[in-house]
Structure 1
Amino acid sequence: MRRQSETLLLVPLLPIFLLGMFPMFLIALLGFFGLALFGVLVISVGLASSNEAHDNFNHDVIVHGYARGSERAARASDMHLATRLGLRLEAVGAAMVVTAAIGLCYAG
């Protein structure tokens, strides 16, 4: 039986690598300022995620009215899950900004 090449396994991962390459170049070229800029972008994504979760929940309540308790609990649970993800992203972004600020103070 003929063995397949390992390079064929890497071909589907190439677009992910190409997309992820630019933020890494941003951090590498701009240094701590690039890290702070990337942290601000992560914070923005977290805020957008939280706002979208609340928007979806409010849309369901307005359009469909108050549902039964189990459905309402499921929708509220989905909203809380998305909100917690947004809070984690905000915390990671804030940590990146603080790390960049500390790095600028000590390196500069």
Structure 2
Amino acid sequence: MRRQSETLLLVPLLPIFLLGMFPMFLIALLGFFGLALFGVLVICVGLASSNEAHDNFNHDVIVHGYARGSERKARASDMHLATRLGLRLEAVGAAMIVIALLGLLFFS
């Protein structure tokens, strides 16, 4: 029995890599504007993460009703943890935008 090469496992991933390569090059070629664009995308991810956490908590409350106190506190804690992650992502995105604006002002 012949052993298959591991490179055959990478062949299905090649189109994904090729499609994802061009936006990354575009962001790099845009310079500070690309950094600001990436910051906006990070802010969008933070907002989506926060909204998804609230959605999951509301879904649990609506579908399963109010649970015992300890279980409800655990779900609320999970929601707060995901919300804090979203806030951190939003802060990082805002910092990226500020750095891009300062770079455009000082180096252009």
How many pairs are equivalent? Answer: 108
Instruction: Answer whether contact 1:23 1:38 (CA < 8 A) is retained.
Output: no
TM-score (norm 2): 0.79
Give the gaps of 5 or more residues in structure 1. Answer: none
Query: Please, what TM-score do these two structures have when normalized by structure 1?
Result: 0.79
Structure 1 residues 4 and 56, CA gap change in structure 2 (3 angstroms): closer
- Distance in 2, matches of 1:42 and 1:100, equals 14
CA drift of 1:26 comes to 2.7
Task: Flag the 1:61–1:3 CA change in 2: closer, same or farther, 3 A.
Answer: closer
Q: Which runs of no fewer than 5 residues in structure 2 stay unpaired?
A: none
Moved more, 5-14 or 50-59: 5-14
Task: For 1:89 and 1:73, locate their aligned partners in 2 and report how far apart those are by CA, in whole Å.
Answer: 24
Secondary structure at the counterpart of residue 92 of structure 1: helix
- Secondary structure in structure 2 of the residue aligned to 1:9: helix
Question: How much does 1:107 deviate?
Answer: 1.4
Show CA shifts across 1:59-95 (max 9, x none). 1111111100111011001101110110111011001
Once residues 8 and 39 of structure 1 are traced to their aligned partners in structure 2, the CA distance between those partners, rounded to angstroms, is 36
Change (3 A) 1:95 1:16: farther
In the alignment, the residues of structure 1 paired with residue 100 and residue 63 of structure 2 have an alpha-carbon distance, to the nearest angstrom, of: 44
Q: Deviations over 1:24-80 (max 9, x none)?
A: 423321111010000000000000000010011011111111100111011001101
Following TM superposition, the consecutive aligned residue runs of length 4 or more in structure 1 with deviations greater than 2 angstroms are 1-24
Q: Distance in 2 between matches of 1:6 and 1:103?
A: 44
Moved more, 13-22 or 63-72: 13-22
Q: What secondary structure is seen at the aligned counterpart in 1 of 2:17?
A: helix
